[in-house]
Structure 1
Amino acid sequence: MKTLNVGLIGFGLSGRYFHAPFLSVNPRFKLKTVVERSKNEAQDFDPAIGNARSVEEMLSDPEIDLVFICTPNDTHFSYAMDALENGKHVVIEKPFANTESEAKQLFEVAERNGLVATAYQNRRWDSDFLTIQKLIRENKLGKIVEYESRYDRFRPEVLANTWKEKQADGSGNVYNLGPHLLDQAFVLFGDPQTVTATISTVREGGDVDDYFDIRLGYDDKFVIVKSSLMVYENSLRYAIHGTKGTFIKRGLDAQEETLRRDVLPNTENWGAEPEDRWGTLYSEEDTGIVCSLNGDYMAFYDSIYDAIVDGKELAVKPAEILRTTRVIDLAFESNERQTTISY
């Protein structure tokens, strides 16, 4: 079995708590090098990990096969382009790129060089989203007529110590949480016909958007994705209504909080969601609590390996990533013009 040598650019929340744990327990990968300009936190996680003090140093290593880009959003495009031009496959944290144009450029270079490039859309493997797909597949809800997906927080004070709260390309809540919510909606329902968005800054002293309401137009259903940093009771995650019933889901997938406790994803019953977060199905045929399927972010990494080593189709495909970046572009245009934009 071929082992892919991996380099991480950045070792913050994403690198440390999402990627490193999965890469460290999956025998198909070896986390070889992490770029940290001054710290040595990767070695605290695993002393066997090498350190690079610059992106250039890591990209010059011919043994590195695959690079994960886990840095602020305004650096994604340039780092990804450098990695691809140095012959490395790339996984880019969301957003994959800050515009559809940038995303197209990256895919053109990847295709020209015979490389794999994809976005880290791990929320496809959240426990609740896997459960929703199962309910729809089993026709428990009938034909979906309204789908609302929310990812809210209560953060009334603007944080001074994070790039996510400062003006820069790709900053703000639309770029932070929008790719997750939009990607999930597209997995379920495909391309929208129209995009209508309200994007705003609701907190006093805020420099970036912290509220969005994006409505995706389809012939036969209403699809709404929303997020705000000013929702005190922020447990509602999904409200889905169909011709046969309704599914209401509160609470978030447990994998992130488990990873933050330094629990590795090879533990027994990984991805199990606490029972108090399970959703409720309301219908004439079957009303009651629905046991959530286990979440499984490892499936994303296995897809990357299969695409690079065996030439299989990616789980998160370029066309799907381009669709998400396009809709984000259209959402900002819709908000600016205060009108509905055709997809």
Structure 2
Amino acid sequence: MEHKIAIIGFGGMGHWHYDLIQKIDDLSISGIYDIDEKQQKDAEDKGLRVYKDLDELLDDQRSDLVLVATPNDLHKKLSILSLESGKNVVCEKPAAISSVEVQEMIDAANCTGKFLTIHQNRRWDQDYKMVRDLIKTDKLGGLWRIESRVHGSIGIPADHWRQFQEHGGGMVLDWGVHLFDQITQMFRGEKIKKVYAALTHVTNLMVDDGFTVELTMESGVVALVEAGTSNFISLPRWYVLGSEGTAEIKNFAQKGEIVCARGNGADDVMPVLTAAGPTKTMAPRREENIHREELPLIESDIREFYQNVMRVIEGKEESLIKMTEVKRVMQLMEAVFESGETGEPVYFES
């Protein structure tokens, strides 16, 4: 069955979806709508139809899908208008700028009987899949801490809508929505007891340009989640600690390493002499008493996102991205904002 999708917003992510859709069987673009003349011209150069206004896009009976790829504050309005016009909707993340808005979108989808999903594309990141699969094993012993970070050094670009609060800017809504979604997927079925957050404003006073968040899971595992835009030396993308070993992945789409203990006897370590005195507690294990293992890359195909969307519309599959999960992550981000503003922990799902 062939499907056609109309794109609202032909900026950075709109172009990304355009490129992806060219690689997907049975899915094509009916046209785009954007208020920016530059983006209109670019769409015309690509041979795409440019709708003169939103009504023309919504009235086009050739399309059964709409992609909303606009600034965050417009997601709810445009998604609901699309649903009410009889279209199925793929909305860019975050779904909206509050959990109340997300619920309104869910209600509109239920009322119209149309399909609504959110483009949580980072579920297809290779590094995420590697860690997700690793913690299902006992290679590290008992898991007690997991650290997920993304670091950059250019701040939020001054000419970008993401620097404005009224448009839903800031790093919590930009990268937090991905990182928190990944953690909640890793610990599916487990409650998050406590949220403690610190937000940074190094280069931008209007919105957060970074955050460090500790999530305490019901099992006692602590997940540290961090995004920074003023980090000129990046810390590892993933750092995973168990009772018998540690795993590290330095960056996106890179192989990782697992280091585990072979023993736990007194001969495992030799004291280290520092300038100020000896230490045995912080000395490394002997090389022969540790086991190193490569954490290989996992295959991943982001085309699966749209393939699933089409099969859901055809009644052949369930959605990989459920709106209940989307709403929970939005509520989690609201707890992050609350903790960051008050300096106090938020007891989230206790």
TM range (shorter): 0.7 to 0.9
The 2-side partners of 1:76 and 1:23 are apart by 21
**Does 2:227 correspond to 1:227?**
yes
Aligned 8 A contact 1:127 1:296 in 2: no
Q: CA deviation at 1:58?
A: 0.5
Q: CA deviation at 1:166?
A: 2.4
Matches within 5 A, 1:99-178: 99-156=98-155, 159-178=157-176
Pair member with larger Rg: 2
**Does 2:192 correspond to 1:192?**
yes
Q: CA deviation at 1:319?
A: 1.1
Aligned 8 A contact 2:146 2:224 in 1: yes
Matches within 5 A, 1:3-18: 3-17=2-16
Give 5+ residue unaligned stretches, structure 1: 254-276
**Does 2:290 correspond to 1:304?**
no
**Partner of residue 264, structure 1:** none
Please identify runs of 4+ aligned residues in structure 1 that moved more than 4 A: none
SS of 2:151's equivalent in the other structure is coil
The 2-side partners of 1:60 and 1:32 are apart by 12
The 2-side partners of 1:342 and 1:27 are apart by 46
Q: CA deviation at 1:108?
A: 0.9
The 2-side partners of 1:121 and 1:193 are apart by 24
SS of 2:192's equivalent in the other structure is coil
**Paired amino acid for 1:14:** M
The percentage of counterpart residues that share the same residue type is 27
Matches within 5 A, 1:1-343: 2-17=1-16, 19-37=17-35, 38=37, 39-44=40-45, 46-47=46-47, 49-156=48-155, 159-190=157-188, 191-203=191-203, 206-219=205-218, 220-234=220-234, 236-253=236-253, 277-284=254-261, 286-343=291-348
Aligned 8 A contact 1:34 1:50 in 2: yes
- TM-score normalized by the length of structure 1: 0.87
Moved more, 279-288 or 235-244: 279-288
The 1-side partners of 2:27 and 2:138 are apart by 38
Moved more, 132-141 or 298-307: 132-141
The 2-side partners of 1:210 and 1:193 are apart by 26
SS of 1:231's equivalent in the other structure is coil
Aligned length: 314
- TM-score normalized by the length of structure 2: 0.85
The 1-side partners of 2:91 and 2:315 are apart by 21
Moved more, 94-103 or 58-67: 58-67
Aligned 8 A contact 1:33 1:51 in 2: yes
**Paired amino acid for 1:189:** F
User: Relative to structure 1, is the Cα distance of residues 10 and 238 closer, same or farther in structure 2, using a 3 angstrom cutoff?
Assistant: same
**Paired amino acid for 2:24:** N
The 2-side partners of 1:154 and 1:281 are apart by 28
**Partner of residue 271, structure 2:** none
Give 5+ residue unaligned stretches, structure 2: 263-290
Q: CA deviation at 1:94?
A: 1.1
